[in-house]
Amino acid sequence: MTELEKLVEAFAQNVAAQTAEIAHGSAAKGNRHAKRYIGAFDKLCAYGDAGRDALAVLFTHHRIEVRVMTAAFLLRHRTADAKAVLEEAAARKGVAALEAQQALTNWENGTWALDPG
């Protein structure tokens, strides 16, 4: 497994773990996982567009929260693909749908700032 693949896997695993911790009422543990996937994203960004492109494989991940978080982070780099993922998720119900709606709102009103480039 390459370094990029390891970082992508860490991103996905920690997004899923954060979701599980929050569902079990442990925001503090969830926040630890958030720091880890943000760290993985930062390391991917150190590779430039190649790192961001590596993360884009998660647009088709089996877990919706992973797809949504990936799309939220890649809105600037892969706008059309990310918006499509977020719009599909936003049409559903649940926490991931709310997160997708918020990411789209932030993008549209100019307050989105997860990857300034």
Q: At which residue do the structure tokens 């989105």 appear?
A: 112
Q: How confident is the model at residue 50 (pLDDT cuts 50, 70, 90)?
A: very high
Confidence check: pLDDT of 117 > 80: no
Confidence check: pLDDT of 115 > 90: no
60: nearest Cα among 78, 47, 40: 78
pLDDT single digits (tens) 55-105? 999 999 999 999 999 999 999 999 999 999 999 999 999 989 999 999 999
Residue 96: the pLDDT is 93
Mention the CATH class of domain 3-109: mainly alpha
Q: How confident is the model at residue 116 (pLDDT cuts 50, 70, 90)?
A: confident
Domain residue spans of the chain: 3-109
84 conformational bin, left if phi > 0, alpha if psi -120 to 50, beta if neither = alpha
